[in-house]
Amino acid sequence: MNTLSNGIAGRVCIVTGGARGIGGAISTRLANDGAIVAVIGLPADRDRTESLRASLNGSAENVVFYEGDVGEYERCTKAIEAILQEHGRIDCLVNNAGITADHTARKMTIDEWNAVLQVNLSGPFFMIKAVLDAMVAQNYGRIVNISSVVGLSGNVGQANYAAAKAGLIGLTKTIALEVATKGVTCNAVAPGFIATEMVAAMPPAAIERAVASTPVQRLGQPSEIARTVRFLLDEEAGYINGAVFNVNGGWYM
């Protein structure tokens, strides 16, 4: 049994790519609920994390930035070592960082394939591998992987992204099996089309089509993903393990 209070307050939570978009909303939600949030991100995210801290009311000191590229295992382990040294434990890991490099399979370059698999699938594995010993040693951990609706449905022009996000679901279920007896749970959230820069980069006609084909007829908000992640990270969510939560307005059921 750990000695921390129920819920999330005081928990040390890592959010990769946690300075903007969905990750920014997750960091904000966790910090406002009293967690210590370790944002792991690329160099540009240091300034973005500062802006995020400035937007927080009274909980800015709960957010700390650690530089790290999730696609490089050694940089993941370095960031984890620094977090452990500073905070003594790691309770939650949210694998949120992700990229796209869209082309139909016939036009997709091998570099585009490799880059997306490296960040979106190897990255979460590297991060999980880097935190698991600490979580198992403290007999407590909550891992949430941000997959995608297209990992379930497939999507034209996203062979690399859809394959990585589908693979992330297999990774989620395997970790859920491997460490369940050690107090560590692992779940996935599969968002639909969420209003972030990633979606803003899509052609306007494609966004219109996405909205039109979504039963609730709108894009999702980053805060709506953050709310689901927050729920799964709670100490009291310990019986939810290996699950995939669709948060997509009904776009895929």
Using CB under 6 A, list all residues that contact ligand NDP. 16-17, 19-23, 41-42, 44-45, 69-71, 96-99, 119, 146, 148, 191, 193-194, 196-199
Cβ closest to ligand NDP, residue 14 vs residue 119: 119
Q: State the nearest-atom distance from the C-beta of 125 to ligand NDP, in Å.
A: 13
Q: State the nearest-atom distance from the C-beta of 135 to ligand NDP, in Å.
A: 20
Q: Is 239 a catalytic residue?
A: no
Question: Counting beta carbons within 10 angstroms of the beta carbon of residue 84, is it exposed (0 to 12), middle (13 to 18) or buried (19 or more)?
Answer: middle
CA distance 95 to 188: 9
Cβ closest to ligand NDP, residue 70 vs residue 93: 70
Which residue among the candidates 66, 73, 140, 161 is catalytic per the annotation? 161
Residues 6 or more apart in contact with residue 180 via CB below 8 angstroms: 241
Q: State the nearest-atom distance from the C-beta of 175 to ligand NDP, in Å.
A: 17
Cβ closest to ligand NDP, residue 140 vs residue 160: 160
Q: State the nearest-atom distance from the C-beta of 2 to ligand NDP, in Å.
A: 28
Cβ closest to ligand NDP, residue 140 vs residue 168: 168
User: Catalytic site residues?
Assistant: 161
